[in-house]
Amino acid sequence: MTRGNPQPKVEPTKWHERAFNFYLAARLLAANGLLGPAAFSARQAVELLLKAALVYWDTSFDPIGAGHAVQKMVRSVRNKVPNGRTVEVPDYLWADKRYLSVTRYPTHGKGVGIPNSLVDDLDALFRDLTLLLPLPRNCGLATALIGKHPGNLRMLTDGGHDVGRLRLHFGLPEVAGSASMPEDDFLMRRLRASEPPTKG
């Protein structure tokens, strides 16, 4: 069977943007006790991050044709993406596609186990997969890290998530003592520093 004209590839940044939105959604939903939707969003974020890396590094990769085969995409990332060998996706995120289907559709005799480590695992995967991509400084993640979108910055850092390596990836300044400094203080200092002087 021959396929029709393939759709032009969407650039990796757009895949990463979608992944970033699902990542933030997963963190927000988990923080509010909505674990089923959080698990689905986490799984979507991981799939989209894998696709972003493969779209960038493997010109033969077809993200639509790949479907939802996370395990296969993980193998491809390990084999085709520089520094991708260390990518580890916990089985529970892809096994039996439960996070893809059972989190959305009631299924007789099937449940979804959601470990306490879901957000920590997702944070590590988001960081590790993002570091495989040369993303522009105007992408959603970078603009959140400098405080252009304060709500996204709060969602990123809620629960003590360390974003230092992500800031370094974009060449953004690391603030001395930022581990103990509230992100809102960092944000306000960045915004004040970027404001033009006022006439007095």
Same domain, 85 and 64: yes
**Is 152 found in the same domain as 97?**
no
- Give residue 186's pLDDT: 46
Q: Is residue 39 located within the same domain as residue 69? A: yes
CB-count exposure of residue 101 (10 Å: 0-12, 13-18, 19+): middle
| CA neighbor of 99 nearest in space, from 21, 44, 52 | 44
pLDDT for res 68: 82
Q: Where is the domain boundary, 135, 154, 179?
A: 135
Helical axes 183-194 vs 150-157, angle rounded to 10° = 150
* Confidence label for 114 from pLDDT (cuts 50, 70 and 90): confident
Is 110 part of a structural domain of the chain?
A: yes
Domain assignment present for residue 183? The answer is: yes
Q: What percent of the chain has pLDDT over 90?
A: 33
Residue whose pair of structure tokens reads 């993640």 in the numeric block: 141
| 2 falls within a domain | no
Residue 191 is inside which H or E element, if any? helix 183-194
Do 84 and 78 touch, CB atoms closer than 8 A? yes
Question: Is residue 91 domain-shared with residue 25, that is, in the same domain?
Answer: yes
Whether residue 42 is found in the same domain as residue 113 = yes
What value does the mean pLDDT take over residues 177-196?
42
Most confident of the ranges 20-24, 97-101, 113-117, 185-189: 20-24
Residue 39 token pair: 């698990």
Supply the pLDDT for residue 108.
Answer: 64
Q: Does 192 have pLDDT greater than 80? A: no
Domain closes at, from 117, 135, 153:
135
* pTM of the complete model: 0.78
pLDDT per position as a tens digit, 33-91: 998 889 889 999 999 999 999 999 998 998 888 878 888 989 999 999 999 998 888 88
Identify whether residues 93 and 156 lie together within a single domain.
no
| Total domains present in the chain | 2
Contact 30, 119 (CB under 8 A): yes
Do 86 and 16 lie in a common domain? yes
Residues 28, 109: one domain?
yes
Residues 6+ apart with CB under 8 A from 9: 55, 63
